[in-house]
Amino acid sequence: MRPRRSTWIWFGVLVAAEVASFIARRADSDSGCLFKAVSVLAFTVLFWRGTIFLFRLIIRRLSLRLAFSHFLIGIVPIPLTAALALVAAYIVAHQVVATRMRREVTAIGAAALTASPPPPRVSLANTGVVASSGVPWLSVGAHADWLRDLERPGFVEADDGLWLAVPDGPRAVRLLDLSDPAAPWAQRLADATEYEVELILGDANYARRYQNFLNNYPEIRKRSPEVRTFDLRMDDRITAKD
């Protein structure tokens, strides 16, 4: 494969520009910069054409073409398959841990319905207002439509604390105080899941912070299984404590 005529022309331009630049420097002429710019342009064009020439020369060989095809078919899929397996394993692990946490929370709520003494009970009237209440922060006559559609245990933030609302018949719930250190519910959850942790919730937004922790805990436990204390006082982050 012979070089094109224009390639020889660019080569001549490069040589002439270099010679002219050398003469201009010896003569202390200001035109040396112009010749140097022409030299750089010619070198760039020649370098690009040389790269294309070498690439075509290599690819045209049948054996190298086959080797390159085998590389794409046999080697490239390996890291792609490994990455896909890693992502799938991460998703499955997250779902397993999250499902176990939800199952244990539901089981603790069901056990609380038969506890003695039973947790405080709140019932609703047909109009969606509280008919009876065993907690001071939810008074009789107050609107509590969120209790009407509760089908499984859920977290409630109220009275500067975090509660677990457990359905107890039509339009009625039992409320478990998870913020009370003397209450056994949080400890039972830790015992059932074997995930013993200490949470620093701060003095506001308990339910949102705790729910955010539950949503992200599978990933946190996978990355740092030895950490047991977490600071949740900032709503947009979870800080691990040693």
The pLDDT tens digits of the residues spanning 22-52 come to 777 777 666 667 777 888 888 888 888 888 8
Residue 77, strand partner residues:
none
- pLDDT at 84 > cutoff 90: yes
Is 235 in contact with 209 (CB distance < 8 Å)? yes
- Residues 147-161 have a mean pLDDT of 76
Domain coordinates in residue numbering, the chain: 5-75, 80-241
> What pLDDT is recorded for position 187?
65
- Residues 191-219 have a mean pLDDT of 68
Is 221 in contact with 210 (CB distance < 8 Å)? no
What the block records as the tokens of 163 is 């509660």
What angle (nearest 5°) sits at the alpha carbon of residue 172, between those of residues 169 and 178? 110
Is 14 in contact with 40 (CB distance < 8 Å)? no
Which whole-number Å values give the CA distances from 54 to 42, 68, 123, 131, 183, in the listed order?
18, 16, 82, 86, 77
What the block records as the tokens of 222 is 């996978």
Cis status of the peptide bond prior to 117, with omega within 30 of 0? yes
What angle (nearest 5°) sits at the alpha carbon of residue 151, between those of residues 113 and 171? 70
Higher pLDDT, 236 or 80: 80
Q: Which of 88-97, 192-201, 211-220 has the lowest mean pLDDT?
A: 192-201
Alpha helices in the chain (DSSP H): 5-26, 32-59, 62-70, 77-112, 185-193, 206-223
Is 14 in contact with 39 (CB distance < 8 Å)? yes
> What pLDDT is recorded for position 87?
92
Residues 6+ apart with CB under 8 A from 55: none
Residues listed for the chain: 242
d(CA 146, CA 45): 72
